[in-house]
Amino acid sequence: MILVYSHKITPRLTYIFRQIFIRILELPVNFTSTIEKFVSHSGPKLSYTCQPLGKEFFIGSSDLLFQQGIQEVPIEVFNWSDIPAFFKLGKPSQLPYDIFASSFYLMSRYEEFLPQVKNELGAFLAYQSLASKNNFLEMPLIDLWAVRLKDKLHEFFPELPHVSWKKPKFQPIISVVNPYKYQKKSLLLKLTHTLNALWHLDFFSVIEQYLVLLGLKKDPHNNFEALEALFKQFGNQPLYFFLFSKNTFYDRGVSTYNFSFRKLVKNTADLNHVSLLASYASQQDSKYLNYECDQLKRLIIKKIDSVRFNYGLLSTSSCYYNLLEQEIFEDYSMGYKDEVGYRASTAVPFYFYDLNNDLQTSLKIHPVVADEVGLRMFTNKKAFKKLEKLYENLPTRSAFHAISFSNAILNAEETKNSWADQFINYIQYHAR
């Protein structure tokens, strides 16, 4: 066990220390603000304060973990051993920056609680983030820092246990907005699709639509049996999130009263973990979230314990409070819809820290490194090569490599090396 001394033990301090030591590095940690207890401790120990007490392992502290509330924080990023860092420190600190304050700033999504320009949906934009501005969005920076800290600690305390290596967990996610491309839609939506295709001179779509509606061709998005067989073959356990809401301007799925759709959801839930792909409205108002959870729960007869937001997480500073209010304690939305990378600069699951009330909550956040929307900004080969590289560069076995695909990913195409082919190869790459 590592004993940590600081002049003041705050909720922010214990939150980030436990995340780094226990959840990322898998090392036990305890805290004290009593100098005598720290000095008399015979095992590994670390001080986090203004000045070292003696010749112990010392990390200098900045003010962030001892403050309350939210205020503008000046950030100046510099390069340290080929990785970015900030909250710079001088000697005698063992690291030239405050790793704990820096990690807290990124993981708590502090910048999202500050005033910023949002898009028409009210979403925090990736390009405004510190990670994007300083080119470390695709780096699990906190995890990389933690490994550097561990190496330093092992130099100082050779008796510290070494954690054996194992591959990080790969978690495929299937986000189902439209289980069917043409079937089970209202007459208005079918007509709208036809007119839109004709307007764009997409005659293939018009022909395909009516072949499907006449029962002469399988709906290209109805790939659930193929997905089930694929995941079973390679030993992957997917998570399915179904949009189960009223049709609105933003969320246009299949009616929740449609018998075929309800049967599909129920059959999928009998074999897999199924939960809610929450609508845009449910991010804005908890009563919509409560309604959607209740309707899905009644159908699959299972507790709705996790959620993914259909439009991605719009803003950490507001959306997570609705989940806590509805006693939903797992989220799979921490990522950007149209950008690949680590929104919170970590690949390890963590708990939401409520900056407004300065406390750790019970909501566990699972980082999602990529969504299919963002991946399709690249060619299919480049997208999946990027995913392989991100996975291979994960520095800890506690990491969580989650990627969200739509059920349409297995849509058969005429060309070789299609998205479907690349997806199948990628699932095989992660075979267990």
- For residue 258, give the nearest of 273, 242, 280 by alpha carbon: 242
Q: Do residues 205 and 197 touch, judged by C-beta distance below 8 A?
A: yes
Confirm if 309 and 333 have CB atoms less than 8 A apart: yes
Token look-up 């739509």 returns 406
Per-residue pLDDT of 39-85, as tens digits, reads 999 999 999 999 999 889 999 999 999 999 999 999 999 999 899 99
Percent of the chain with pLDDT over 70: 91
Q: Identify the burial level of 285 via C-beta atoms within 10 angstroms of its C-beta, where 0-12 means exposed, 13-18 middle and 19 or more buried.
A: exposed
What are the domain boundaries of the chain? 2-156, 169-180+221-429
Give pLDDT, residue 284. Answer: 87
β strands within 296-335, DSSP E: 306-309, 330-334
Q: Which amino acid is at 120?
A: E
91 backbone φψ class: left, alpha, beta (φ>0; ψ -120 to 50)? beta
Task: Look at the domain 169-180+221-429 and name its fold.
Answer: TIM Barrel (3.20.20)
Both tokens of 296, joined, read: 């899905």
pLDDT tens track for 160-198 = 988 888 999 999 999 999 898 766 665 556 556 656 755
pLDDT attached to residue 29: 97
* pLDDT for the residue 301: 95
pLDDT value of position 319: 86
Residues 6+ apart with CB under 8 A from 307: 241, 275, 276, 277, 278, 289, 323, 328, 330, 331, 332, 333
Identify the pLDDT of residue 247: 80
